[in-house]
Structure 1
Amino acid sequence: MAEDQSKTAGPDLTRGVECGAIPDGGKLLGHVGEAQVLVVRVGAEFFAVDAFCTHYHGPLADGLVADGALRCPWHHACFDLRTGEALRPPAFGPLACWSVEQRNGRIFVREQRKSAATAPRALGGAPERIVIVGGGAAGFAAAEKLRREHYQGSIVMLSDDDAPPVDRPNLSKDYLAGSAPEEWVPLQPEQFYAESGIDLRLKANVTALDPQRREVILCDGGSVPYDRLLLATGAEPVRLPISGADRPHVHALRSFSDCQAIIAAAGAARRAVVIGASFIGLEAAAALRARKIEVHVVAPEARPMERILGPEMGDFIRALHEEHGVVFHLEEKPAAIEDRQVILESGKKLDADLVILGVGVRPRTQLAEAAGLRVDRGVTVDAYLETSAPGVFAAGDIARWPDPHGGAPIRVEHWVVAERQGQTAALNMLGRRQQYAAVPFFWSQHYDVPINYVGHAENWDDLTIEGDIRAKDCLLRFNRNGRALAVASIFRDLESLKAELAMERDS
């Protein structure tokens, strides 16, 4: 998904441009030498920053300027225009910044500024020991944020995975399809953790929590003390209670090792059956088609994704996959899995060298429940992401928090939500008392079609469609009582960003 940056575009900014050429809130793409640079105007001030997002190199010239920050059109990362700092995931790396000079009604972009070391904030009363249980999006984002905030205490991250934190969305998209190299998968190189003073312990199986003694108990009988604890245990794939679901050619897709096992199996596979028309299931179907494997999708619903995106988008997604050769078996359920076949309840038999389970996930709340924390379809947290046990926070797929945008408590299983919650939890473990108020966001990729979704609408009473879904140019608003709870879009990136901003300001 990287932009081609081999050729420069726009004017040579070192030669200057008229101030009037850039309106307030506007942007101008140009270059300084071989570097693409974006000039942004906010009132009478001009800023010059990298033209591409540090996440997946999204074109920031197509983004949104608001509140002194620049938002990426692709996956809604956000950067401070003054410092270049990544304010919101999924980006963590800062943008480079250039010096700007105004003279005689013109602006000139000069040399790239050295990264200014941010002044350490006062951390009076900060805990000495922070433990993070979980090595996914929320856990990584929390650890990274703690160090970026100049926290000097101990950070221990306990992960039961065998790999450091990875970019999980890539596992069902480009990496699985074979179009992204393996070096794109880790969120940071292994040395990042040692260099940052983060004690990352892989294959660390936590068996219990003791909130009274403030200890985490490990399977080997050892314990890790904490002053603040973040539970970020995530979710685990649902396993089907049918015969053959544990056969070697049947795979779930959650971890890096899951993805590697599927890729290895795909090398000799001719036919695959994907059970479940979830986002993960359908992204996996698209990735397997990119590898020239025949794919059949089995799902109980009449339309894929109808419950989340509505009937019109569901019909479009089905047609899109069918155009690429996917065969659907809707309103069907698997009854059994044999060595080379999936048998449906209707009696139909589908040949399968490879089976992918995409039937959803369940939050891993067992540790919280056993420790006596309040659990209600997830680990219950307050607006600051603190659980019912003082000093214990939860973030990511397990957290059920009071949604300031929709009213009722919600739990959301999306990557960017987990990362943003991890960052907020980090600040609150340092005593900042920052409410979590970010609008939920996720994206899905099907072949060359991206679907962006902001907000959260478990149910709605009105669905309005702007544009043409079939033409891949649309924006859908999911409304209840006249208020937009969520917006889904295809190639309406700027409108998606504006909808997110409106929801933020409406809370």
Structure 2
Amino acid sequence: MNEESKPSGPDLTKGVSLTEFKHGKLLGHVGAEDVLLVQAGSEIFAIEPSCSHYHGPLAEGLVVDDTIRCPWHHACFSLRTGEPTRPPALNALAVWEVTRDRDRILVQSKREMPAPPAPHRAAPMPEKFVIVGGGAAGFAAAEMLRREGFAGAITMLSDDGAMPADRPNLSKDYLAGNAPEDWLPLRSEDYFRDAGIDLRLNTNVSAIDPKTGRVMLGNGDTLPFDRLLLATGAEPVRLQIPGAEQPHVHTLRSVADSRAIIKAAGGARRALVIGASFIGLEVAASLRARKLEVHVVAPEERPMQRVLGPEMGDFVRALHEENGVNFHLEDTVERIDGTRATLNSGGVVEADLVVVGIGVKPRLALAEQGGLAIDSGVSVNEYLETSVSSIYAAGDIARWPDPHSKQNIRVEHWVVAERQGQTAARNMLGARERFDAVPFFWSQHYDVPINYVGHAESFDDIAIAGSIAGKDCLLKYRKGGRVLAVASIYRDLDNLEAELAMEQS
């Protein structure tokens, strides 16, 4: 056995003592498999040590009651069953039986994975569920319906040509060339077939009729529903300038968009990114990984200042400049003539690839046409119900009462969309589960991850602990003395603890 595949820590079949634990955890092995021992109260659990999302190290995570949270992207798992209790993880972890021999803790046999629950048959039970949208919220809802044992019909309508995919990867590792395309699908075609989920790609929905409980498709067909989930997501804001419709000018939202940018990057030398948004700068980093010269044009004084503040904005700019990105800030693109982009300042950037990242807008047309209540998004209550009781909304379109910020908010975060999809699914089955998760997102820039938990549409001041320049910091965004959000770099446990504090406040 070579050094790379050598299992970690002590052999747990021979037993270990609690005195060997560090911060309530001990990484060891059973045979060739790594196993993490976790102390939760008076109990000891044994679980697979890597998060099933991006393989984050759970030994560095946070134990809350009988669950453990991943330090990287805040997925959560039951220590008893290994089941993922919070996205972004969707796959369960293996667990092992733990026994005690006096003061020794022994792990020997892996526990069988629990069988799926029996189908719900509570009366009256809706039989036909329709989900409009093939993104994070729509997929998470469909998957949760089956996980909860729902045996009725699930039809999932997506106007995309690709299977539900790991969208954050489209601007990060996949675009950079560090992840193969087969990593993108959230589930295989076989999963949808075996789970009995009727996934219809390239399918346009033209209208919904709440009164008759029907969805009208673009081809003239109709589908009846007992429960409907609108998860139509958002679409990129289009650049409204001369030359924006040229074939070398791209936006990034779908797998097809990312593929097109990758193809164009193969024959390009210089790229122009319009917009210093999170996605814009992730694209810039990914194109630098492909050795393109990259220019970023944006109207802000600092990138990301509105969300992260001036100090973090300066850091992000410096980080990208260290990696070769050229910024043209407090400026805009006036027109694009072929490969020549003329700036409002009079400057010119020559670029054979242009990517526009100036924000997204929620896709509200179906909800508006159906007469649902709208307020800068689809208005939902704490159970994610719209103004029509049989229709729910989740993801980028949903505007919900957030108990943490004490406001009605709408956010465009992948993890929030997944969590809302799961909550909506359970409520469509008859649960009355409030959606009260604290919003969370992450952004990756070269080797620097930025984790952000909470929601601060504005803030009075920022308390900074540690060193932003040293890539070891925690920032608290406060308004009226109250912490509304926290951002961090390489302070993962602190970020998890901040999330827990917000949940408990």
Partner of 2:71: 73
- Deviation per CA, 1:315-341, whole angstroms, max 9, x where unpaired? 000000000000000000111112111
Shift of 1:121: 6.8
- Describe how 1:431-442 pairs up with structure 2 within 5 A: 431-442=430-441
- Deviation per CA, 1:46-95, whole angstroms, max 9, x where unpaired? 11000100000000000000021000000000000000000000000001
Partner of 1:418: 417
Shift of 1:481: 1.6
Shift of 1:483: 1.3
Shift of 1:206: 0.3
- Describe how 1:101-140 pairs up with structure 2 within 5 A: 101-120=99-118, 122-124=120-122, 125-140=124-139
- Deviation per CA, 1:217-274, whole angstroms, max 9, x where unpaired? 0111110110000000000000011001110000000000000000000000000000
Partner of 1:186: 185
Equivalent residue pairs, number: 502
8 Å contact kept, 1:439–1:504: yes
In the alignment, the residues of structure 2 paired with residue 10 and residue 291 of structure 1 have an alpha-carbon distance, to the nearest angstrom, of: 38
Secondary structure in 2 matching 1:17: coil
Q: 1:5 to 1:135 in 2, by over 3 A?
A: farther
Partner of 1:255: 254
Partner of 1:40: 38
Q: If the length of structure 1 is used for normalisation, what is the TM-score? A: 0.98
Q: 1:123 to 1:343 in 2, by over 3 A?
A: farther
Shift of 1:390: 1.6
Partner of 1:100: 98
- Deviation per CA, 1:71-122, whole angstroms, max 9, x where unpaired? 0000000000000000000000001001111111110011111112144375
Instruction: Judge which range, 203-212 or 108-117, deviates more.
Output: 108-117
- Give the aligned residue type for 1:320: L
In the alignment, the residues of structure 1 paired with residue 119 and residue 408 of structure 2 have an alpha-carbon distance, to the nearest angstrom, of: 32
Partner of 1:503: 502
Secondary structure in 2 matching 1:204: coil
Partner of 1:56: 54
- Describe how 1:91-490 pairs up with structure 2 within 5 A: 91-120=89-118, 122-124=120-122, 125-490=124-489
In the alignment, the residues of structure 2 paired with residue 152 and residue 188 of structure 1 have an alpha-carbon distance, to the nearest angstrom, of: 19
In the alignment, the residues of structure 1 paired with residue 342 and residue 66 of structure 2 have an alpha-carbon distance, to the nearest angstrom, of: 57
- Give the aligned residue type for 1:219: G
- Report percent identity of matched pairs: 64
Shift of 1:20: 3.7
- Give the aligned residue type for 1:347: G
Q: 1:302 to 1:155 in 2, by over 3 A?
A: same
- Give the aligned residue type for 2:147: R
8 Å contact kept, 2:117–2:147: no
8 Å contact kept, 2:454–2:484: yes
8 Å contact kept, 1:123–1:430: no
8 Å contact kept, 1:5–1:36: no
- Deviation per CA, 1:145-197, whole angstroms, max 9, x where unpaired? 00000100000000000011000000000000000011111111111111110
Secondary structure in 1 matching 2:452: strand
In the alignment, the residues of structure 1 paired with residue 208 and residue 38 of structure 2 have an alpha-carbon distance, to the nearest angstrom, of: 49
In the alignment, the residues of structure 2 paired with residue 294 and residue 134 of structure 1 have an alpha-carbon distance, to the nearest angstrom, of: 36
Shift of 1:5: 6.8
Flag structure 1 segments of 5+ consecutive residues without an equivalent: none
Shift of 1:6: 2.5
In the alignment, the residues of structure 2 paired with residue 302 and residue 12 of structure 1 have an alpha-carbon distance, to the nearest angstrom, of: 55
Flag structure 2 segments of 5+ consecutive residues without an equivalent: none
8 Å contact kept, 1:271–1:293: yes
8 Å contact kept, 1:32–1:109: yes
Secondary structure in 1 matching 2:309: helix
- Give the aligned residue type for 1:427: R
8 Å contact kept, 1:64–1:498: yes
Q: 1:79 to 1:273 in 2, by over 3 A?
A: same
In the alignment, the residues of structure 2 paired with residue 122 and residue 230 of structure 1 have an alpha-carbon distance, to the nearest angstrom, of: 19
In the alignment, the residues of structure 2 paired with residue 190 and residue 455 of structure 1 have an alpha-carbon distance, to the nearest angstrom, of: 35
Shift of 1:123: 4.2
Instruction: Judge which range, 12-21 or 175-184, deviates more.
Output: 12-21
In the alignment, the residues of structure 2 paired with residue 380 and residue 324 of structure 1 have an alpha-carbon distance, to the nearest angstrom, of: 42
RMSD value, Cα: 1.1
- Give the aligned residue type for 1:145: M
In the alignment, the residues of structure 2 paired with residue 65 and residue 390 of structure 1 have an alpha-carbon distance, to the nearest angstrom, of: 37
